[in-house]
Every structure is written in structure tokens, then in C-alpha cells.
């Protein structure tokens, strides 16, 4: 294909830009509960995200990538003109990346999944026609955007109610926290390990039986709980700290738990959302290599590395604004509330990642935070901020589509 080298370089650059946008927006809200509750500093969140986002993207990112790459549009009509799909995927990446840059700059937590799906649909409408869009698949994805925040919200509500019942409403909440927090840590390790084995490691070539997966997940949970117990024993308890807020020392114990949930959330997010950047890149690489439009193609390791690296850079450079919105402005978060929101969101995201449906991590986490807020009281929610977030969600698909259409026509004008 003409200009193949230039187009390959552009695919890498636009994919990196899109991954950067994911880091600035999506990863920021994945880390927001930990930072907003005071359990982690921005610097610590960056280190955790750097390691676990990268691991999630690299180890478990292949499943969802298949859906993004081949599930949203029917590429059969493009079989004779593969260059159209190349320009389309480049346009989708550029359009979605631009919208994420604008939203992150404004501190709006939008869905990177919405953005790239909007971009791909926008290109398909102008380049192929509306029949090429798999509206049934789009319907499935849109439905998942409604259902997953509700599921995450319900899980978060139940988890926080368990914290209230088992710890905060007990006669000696500090002793209860020391007793039950290691069990919560076990739960975090168990859930993340189990779903990773069931869903995430297939494309790495690591096959384990169901029984082996459960045994390893129990082991991972147990190791996490033991490490947690050691860290809890080292927490400095000062009775004077409880004068202004009676649960200050209890929340220090939950702060240890938040380190584990932050790792879990980062891994879950990396496994699901890296696909938004690397799915279109993988499609471009495949076409440029073979000259044909394939419904599926191998995922080169360098593409996964590109996506994982871009995510970490975006968080480091522009993540603070979205962290402030999600972590501090929806409802007041403490480590115990942040834990409930984060493990509920992580569980929901990792399960969805395994089913191949690209859900919105943003909406899942915001749903979980709303669930925690409801468990406290309806008045604890900042309805104005929630309204702004919902508004930014509604416009994301149309804006992503519009920017992709403009990008598509620009690329066609440049390359002919």
C-alpha cells in the first residue's frame, strides 16, 4: 500500500495519543478514590498505576481488543479497499484522542470507550454507510453502560453497609477494623486473581483448569491478607487523632486496604481500557502487513507496550484534574468509603473485560461512588457535579463521531 511506512508511524503516534488520553482521564478516575480519600498521594498513585495498569494492559488486554477491532463495524464491504479502513481507524483514534484531551483539560471524567466507539461509528457512517455499523453490538455496549454502573453501585452499597455493620457501628470499631480489614484484603486478592485467570490470560498462552484457578486465587488472596496484616500492625495509632473525627484511627487501617484496592483497580482498568487505544492500531498494522481486511488479526507485542506506556504518561502529565473531580467533588470519601467503591468497580470491570464487552470504567466507578453516597444519605451527594458528569457522558459519542469525521476527511485530503 502507498505511504505504508508513514501510515504505520501515524498509527503508532495516534495510538499513543489516545492511550495518553486514557491515562489523563480514565486512569485518573481509577485512582481518584485512593487519592481523594487521602489513602495515597499523587506520587504513590502514579507508581501503582505505572506497574498495575501496565500489567493489566499487557497480560489481560487482548480479549476486549478483539471486540473493539472487529465487533463494532462490519468490515466486509471494505474488503476491496483496505486503505479506507486504515484512514478510518486513524481518524477514530485522532478524533477520540482530541476529545479526551479537551475533557481531561476541563476535569470532566468521560468514557474513553464512548469516545473510540463514537469515533469508529462516525468514520463508518461517512466512509461506508450506516449499514456497516453493527447497531445490535452498539446496543449491547450502550446497555452495558447502563447496567454496569448499577451493578457497581449495588455492590458498593452492600460492601459499605457491611463496613458499617461489621466495623463502624461496633462498640470498639478499631479492634473490629483490625479483625475484618485483612478479610477484605483477601477478597480483593481473590477476586482480581480469579477473574484474571478465567478471562485475562488466554492470549498469553497460559491455560489453567478451573480448580487450579480457584486454588491460585485463594493463595493470592491469602498472601495479600498476610501482607496486609503486617502493614496494619505497623500503623501508628494515636487516640488524640479521634477527637475531631471519631473514626480517624479506624480509617488509617482502611488506608492499608486502599493500597490493595488501588492495585486491583489499576489492573482491572488496564485490562479493559487499553483496547480503546490499541484495537484500531492493531487493525491498521494488520492491513498494512497483509494488504487485506481481516475480521481478526494477531496483536503485536509492541502495540500492547505502546498502549500501556501511553496510559502511564497521560496520568502523570494531566491526571490531576479528573482525580479532583471524581475523588473529592461527588461525595466526601474516606478510605472505608473509597474501598467499597473501588473494589466494587474493579470486580465489575474485570468481569466485563472477560466477557469482551467494552464497558466504561468511568461510569462503573462513578456508579460505585454514588452507591457509597446512597449508603450514607442522599444529601451527601453533590448533584450539580453529578449533573455535569452525566452531561459530558451524553455528548461524548456524538463529539467523538464528529471529530473522527473531520479527521477522516483531512487524512483523505492529505493522502489522496
Q: What is the pLDDT along the chain (416 residues), one digit of tens a residue?
A: 678 889 999 999 999 999 999 988 887 777 888 888 888 888 888 888 888 887 877 776 555 555 555 567 777 777 778 888 889 889 999 999 999 999 998 888 888 888 888 898 998 899 888 887 888 877 877 777 778 888 899 999 999 999 999 999 999 999 999 999 999 999 888 877 876 676 555 555 667 787 888 899 899 999 999 999 999 999 888 888 888 888 888 999 988 888 888 887 788 777 767 777 887 888 888 888 877 766 555 667 788 888 888 888 898 888 888 887 877 778 788 888 888 888 888 778 767 766 666 677 778 888 898 888 888 777 878 888 888 888 888 888 889 999 999 999 999 999 87
Q: List the grid coordinates of 402.
A: 464528529
Q: Cα dihedral angle (163, 165, 169, 170), rounded to 10 degrees? A: -100
Residue 15's contacts (CB-CB under 8 Å, 6 or more residues apart) are: 93, 277, 278, 280, 281, 303, 306, 307, 310
Q: List the grid coordinates of 191.
A: 477476586
Q: List the grid coordinates of 326.
A: 471524581
Dihedral pair phi/psi, residue 75, rounded to 5°? -90, 5
CB 25 within 8 A of CB 360: no
Total Cβ atoms within 10 A of residue 10: 20
pLDDT single digits (tens) 181-200: 999 999 888 877 876 676 55
The dihedral through the CA atoms of 189, 195, 201, 203 has a sign that is: negative
- Give the separation between CA 232 and CA 176, rounded to whole angstroms: 12
Which residue pairs, CB below 8 angstroms and at least 24 apart, start in 393-396? 393/110, 393/111, 393/114, 393/362, 393/363, 396/99, 396/103, 396/110, 396/111, 396/114, 396/115, 396/118
Instruction: Give the burial string for 344-365 (b: 16+ CB within 10 Å, else e).
Output: bbbbbbbbbbbeebbbbbbbbb
In three-state secondary structure terms, 292 is coil
Total Cβ atoms within 10 A of residue 23: 32
Rg (CA), the chain: 22
Looking at residue 174, its pLDDT comes to: 92
Query: Could you tell me the end-to-end alpha-carbon distance of the chain, in angstroms, rounded to an integer?
Result: 13
- Give the separation between CA 416 and CA 402, rounded to whole angstroms: 21
Looking at residue 93, its pLDDT comes to: 93
CB 252 within 8 A of CB 237: yes
Q: Cell 450502550 identifies what position?
A: 142
Q: List the grid coordinates of 327.
A: 475523588
CB 345 within 8 A of CB 364: yes
DSSP structure string for 336-374 = HHHHHHHHHHHHHHHHHHHHT----HHHHHHHHHHHHHH
* Number of domains forming the structure of the chain: 1
Q: Cα dihedral angle (46, 47, 49, 52), rounded to 10 degrees? A: 180
The dihedral through the CA atoms of 302, 305, 311, 312 has a sign that is: negative
- Give the separation between CA 336 and CA 177, rounded to whole angstroms: 10
Looking at residue 68, its pLDDT comes to: 54
- Give the separation between CA 8 and CA 89, rounded to whole angstroms: 12
Give the H/E segment covering residue 104.
helix 82-106
Helices marked H in 107-172 = 112-127, 135-163
Q: Which domain holds residue 161?
A: 4-415
Q: List the grid coordinates of 360.
A: 466504561
Amino acid at each position: 500500500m502507498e505511504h505504508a511506512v508513514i501510515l504505520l508511524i501515524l498509527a503508532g503516534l495516534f495510538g499513543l495519543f489516545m492511550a495518553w488520553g486514557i491515562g489523563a482521564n480514565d486512569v485518573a478516575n481509577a485512582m481518584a478514590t485512593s487519592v481523594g480519600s487521602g489513602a495515597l498521594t499523587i506520587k504513590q498513585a502514579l507508581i501503582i498505576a505505572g506497574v498495575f495498569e501496565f500489567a493489566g494492559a499487557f497480560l489481560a488486554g487482548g480479549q476486549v481488543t478483539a471486540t473493539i477491532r472487529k465487533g463494532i463495524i462490519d468490515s466486509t464491504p471494505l474488503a476491496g479497499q483496505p486503505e479506507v479502513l486504515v484512514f478510518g481507524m486513524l481518524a477514530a483514534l485522532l478524533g477520540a484522542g482530541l476529545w479526551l484531551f479537551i475533557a481531561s483539560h476541563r476535569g470532566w471524567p468521560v468514557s474513553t470507550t464512548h469516545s473510540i466507539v463514537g469515533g469508529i461509528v462516525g468514520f463508518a457512517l461517512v466512509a461506508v454507510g450506516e449499514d456497516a455499523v453493527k447497531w445490535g453490538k452498539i446496543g449491547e455496549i450502550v446497555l452495558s453502560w447502563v447496567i454496569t454502573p448499577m451493578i457497581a453501585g449495588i455492590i458498593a452499597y452492600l460492601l459499605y453497609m457491611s463496613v458499617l455493620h461489621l466495623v463502624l457501628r461496633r462498640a470498639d470499631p478499631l479492634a473490629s477494623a483490625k479483625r475484618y480489614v485483612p478479610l477484605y484484603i483477601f477478597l480483593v486478592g481473590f477476586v482480581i486473581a480469579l477473574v484474571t485467570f478465567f478471562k485475562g490470560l488466554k492470549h498469553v498462552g497460559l491455560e489453567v483448569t478451573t480448580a487450579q484457578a480457584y486454588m491460585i486465587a485463594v493463595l493470592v488472596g491469602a498472601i495479600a491478607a498476610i501482607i496486609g496484616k503486617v502493614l496494619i500492625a505497623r500503623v501508628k495509632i494515636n487516640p488524640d487523632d479521634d477527637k475531631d473525627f471519631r473514626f480517624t484511627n479506624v480509617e488509617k487501617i482502611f488506608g492499608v486496604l486502599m493500597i490493595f484496592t488501588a492495585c486491583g483497580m489499576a489492573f482491572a482498568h488496564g485490562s479493559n481500557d487499553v483496547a480503546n487505544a490499541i484495537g484500531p492500531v492493531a487493525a491498521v498494522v494488520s492491513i498494512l502487513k497483509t494488504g487485506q481486511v481481516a475480521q481478526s488479526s494477531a496483536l503485536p507485542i509492541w502495540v500492547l507496550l505502546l498502549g500501556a506506556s501511553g496510559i502511564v504518561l497521560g496520568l502523570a502529565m494531566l491526571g490531576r484534574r479528573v482525580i479532583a473531580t471524581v475523588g473529592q467533588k461527588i461525595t466526601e470519601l474516606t478510605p472505608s468509603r473509597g474501598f467499597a467503591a473501588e473494589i466494587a468497580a474493579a470486580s465489575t470491570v474485570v468481569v466485563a473485560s472477560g466477557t469482551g464487552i467494552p464497558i466504561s470504567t468511568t461510569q462503573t466507578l462513578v456508579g460505585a461512588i454514588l452507591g457509597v453516597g446512597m449508603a450514607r444519605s442522599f444529601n451527601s451527594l453533590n448533584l450539580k457535579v453529578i449533573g455535569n458528569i452525566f452531561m459530558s457522558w451524553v455528548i461524548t459519542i456524538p463529539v467523538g463521531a464528529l471529530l473522527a469525521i473531520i479527521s477522516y476527511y483531512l487524512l483523505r485530503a492529505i493522502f489522496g
